Amino acid sequence: MNVVEASGLGKRYGRTWALRDCTLTIPAGRVTALVGPNGAGKSTLLNLAVGLTVPSAGAVTVLGGRRAGSPAALDGIAFVAQDTPLYKNLRVTDMIYLTRGLNRRFDQPYAEARLHELGIPLKRRAGKLSGGQQAQLALTLALARRPRLLVLDEPVAMLDPVARHDFMATVLAAASADGVSVLLSSHVLTELERVASYLVLLARGEVRLTGEVTDLLASHGQASLEDLAMTYLRQTTPEVTR
């Protein structure tokens, strides 16, 4: 099964195409790294996949052919947006209650146990947590929905190295233990190196490279995901620098 399939997918804002002629498949059971420079179309692709915006051209389906944004698709996807959206004035326990009420499936014992394990106080307001704790709270709420596909848009951009490492470790554990497919965009390629098994590389709103990370590294003679991405982007987008 493929968790994302796009055919001729495009999104235009005014006269500008944020994403153009995107055709790709992302297989299930992978941690997929979505990489590319600013303005490459990463967030646009994620928003289309989760149904937050509608295509200007083409089509995208998820979870084995479900229309993106349909009730059947939304029930199996959890999405954590770039700014780690939380109600900062609500206590952690209130965030759990709110999320449980808004979703058909929510594992409250799992959420509370995981937050206790992380040392995140349930009575503390979300806005009083550290950046790393807020990211872990958002991730916990997403995982407690028991999704088949977890979509993360730049989740570690504002975190320090220790918090980034802990966050990625949680993502990898969920993928390994629970069989969750993950689609993750990030600029922090060194962190993606540890977890990603599949790669989608975007530049100028177009798909430039896709495939299994190990196969791509071997076929391009590169030692790391960062080296592969930067080498390929410099060839196709000359203004990109490390």
Which CATH number fits the domain that encloses residue 218? 3.40.50.300
196: in domain: yes
pLDDT score of 239? 54
* 110 and 212 belong to one structural domain: no
51: in domain: yes
* 21 and 52 belong to one structural domain: yes
175: in domain: no
Rounded to an integer, what distance in angstroms lies between the CA atom of residue 241 and that of residue 202? 15
Q: Write out the residue range of the structural domain in which residue 107 sits.
A: 86-147
The answer to whether residues 37 and 233 touch, using CB atoms and an 8 Å cutoff, is yes
59: in domain: yes
pTM of the full structure: 0.91
171: in domain: no
* 30 and 106 belong to one structural domain: no
* 31 and 64 belong to one structural domain: yes
Spans in the chain with pLDDT lower than 70: 84, 235-242
Sign for the CA dihedral angle at 178, 82, 88, 72 comes to negative
Helix (H, G, I), strand (E, B) or coil at 49: helix
* 43 and 161 belong to one structural domain: yes
Rounded to an integer, what distance in angstroms lies between the CA atom of residue 98 and that of residue 114? 17
pLDDT score of 81? 85
* 109 and 220 belong to one structural domain: no
* Helix (H) / strand (E) containing 168: helix 161-178
* 160 and 241 belong to one structural domain: yes
* Helix (H) / strand (E) containing 229: helix 225-236
174: in domain: no
Rounded to an integer, what distance in angstroms lies between the CA atom of residue 190 and that of residue 196? 10
172: in domain: no
